[in-house]
Amino acid sequence: MLKKILMCFTLLLALSCAATVSAKSAELTGIDAFDLDNDTVRIEISYKGGKLDTSNVAVESNGDILFVDLDNTSLGRVSRVAGTKIQSGARDFIDKIIANKTQERHTRIQIHLRSEIDGNVSFMIEPANRSEKKSARIVVDVKKSFAQDTWGNFNGDGRIIVLDPGHGGSDSGAVGPTGVREKDVSLAVSLKAQQLLNESGYQVVMTRTTDIDVAAPGVPDSTELQARVDKAPPNADIFISVHCNAFSNSRANGVETYFAPGAVKGSRLALLLNEELERLGELNNRGVKAARFYVMTHSKCPASLIELGFITNPREEQLLADNDYQQKLAQAITNAVNRYFNQGGFD
């Protein structure tokens, strides 16, 4: 399925189409992709002649391809890959850019990325700037840190946090009395935490960003879990696996966090995660515990596994499925990470 990132405003589009039927279409004059900073690749699509506004632009991502659809435009000098410049830094991130005419006065720019992105794309229209010798252009910014498998290209100081949303794909994890699935809760909370951590200047590597088996469906647990451990780059700073608890007795409740026996840094991480989750004030605290969970004992960096609450408990199931509570859980994880690295104003 195509994921709509930014939708055209239908009404505006209709109005502008009506108003500009006889207006001259804009002619594309060049496409330039470059690193804006460590985290962002910028793609500038220059044009001249006609006028464009945001209602002429739609950006969608489909896995590792970003589509920029432009109406009221013609290809001009930009024919297919000609007229396109991908500067050296951006080459690590962008494979190729292809421009096509899709119909009369409509063009589509395909930006083929080297890995999947997860929706953090924005665009704006910049007018011509004579002093900078820039023509009018459509500026598309893509956040690299939302891409998978690009950690090798990071050269910033940002610490690398691995988030592992438990279960996924063929494995639902535990399922609550009304059908809430652990794999969905763990993913939703992890994606929210990814966003908050990114905003705090961390690089985040996700073991999964969609509802998939990380290794493959039906493989032994150790293969699946090793595939998650292997997602961590060699220079990862910490690994956090996100789960929900389950028990046959639906009254079982509360939050708990784990570390591998003997892991000093892992136990500190687990303690801080536990404190921040307890601070939300909703759930009973079952404490910080040592256990030989695969992802913790095999992780090369300090690791913790957290149980956000009991999905088998009707009250906690509702909380875990609640968008606002998921956001609070993500904030708790982020606070714990900040404290672990003595950042963000904590002691």
CB of 320 to Zn ion, least distance (A): 12
Other Cβ atoms closer than 10 A to 43: 26
**Residues 118, 146: contact at Cβ < 8 Å?**
yes
Minimum CB distance to Zn ion smaller for 173 or for 266 = 173
CB of 182 to Zn ion, least distance (A): 5
Alpha carbon distance 113, 86 (integer Å): 12
Which residue has the closest beta carbon to Zn ion?
Answer: 243
Alpha carbon distance 68, 99 (integer Å): 9
Cα–Cα–Cα angle for 171, 172, 176, rounded to 5 degrees: 155
Task: Give 96's strand partners.
Answer: 112
| 109 SS3 class | strand
Binding site for Zn ion (CB under 5 A): 166, 173, 243
Strand pairing report for 255-259 and 238-245: unpaired
Alpha carbon distance 226, 195 (integer Å): 25
CB of 266 to Zn ion, least distance (A): 18
CB of 247 to Zn ion, least distance (A): 12
Minimum CB distance to Zn ion smaller for 166 or for 266 = 166
Minimum CB distance to Zn ion smaller for 71 or for 224 = 224
CB of 243 to Zn ion, least distance (A): 3
Minimum CB distance to Zn ion smaller for 68 or for 189 = 189
Minimum CB distance to Zn ion smaller for 181 or for 339 = 181
Minimum CB distance to Zn ion smaller for 37 or for 221 = 221
Alpha carbon distance 3, 25 (integer Å): 28
CB of 211 to Zn ion, least distance (A): 15
